[in-house]
Structure 1
Amino acid sequence: MPMAADDIIALIKAAIPDAEVEMTDLAGDNDHWAAVVVSDSFKGMPRVRQHQKVYAALGGRMGGELHALQLTTKTRDEGQ
């Protein structure tokens, strides 16, 4: 069963409380998402570590409930 945007956002915010998350349904099927996650907790982290932090927040749902996620991460300094 596909994951709703609100569920994905809730998981990310539970692990990264200051995160601002913007979700886009890429295929109109609640199964292929693009997410922009902005958090100051990403400061000083290489992009790959930022992505790992978000994937960890999703608790292993990638490839199962959450089929595809195009991820963009940045700090507030990098802008929205």
Structure 2
Amino acid sequence: MFIHLGGEKIIRASELIAIFDLSIEKSSKISKQFITHAIRDKKVELIGEEESKSLVVTQSKVYYSPISSMTLKKRAHQLLTN
């Protein structure tokens, strides 16, 4: 199964680790460090040109998605329950 993250980006549901609201980037020291390391390792991808609303963590990358974390979580939940 696949999850659409916005723009033309689709990932395998099996690669998904976590979906966060973008506000976590500012509110948590640990998440700031995680993002800093991901940027340094060139494992961050910005999806589309719209304002980012969520962070999607996969096994290989961190995506900044223009789709809200609630919408992405609903999509992931629908895949798990079907």
TM-score by shorter chain over 0.5: no
TM-score (norm 2): 0.28
Higher normalized helix content (fraction of residues): 2
TM-score (norm 1): 0.28
Higher normalized strand content (fraction of residues): 2
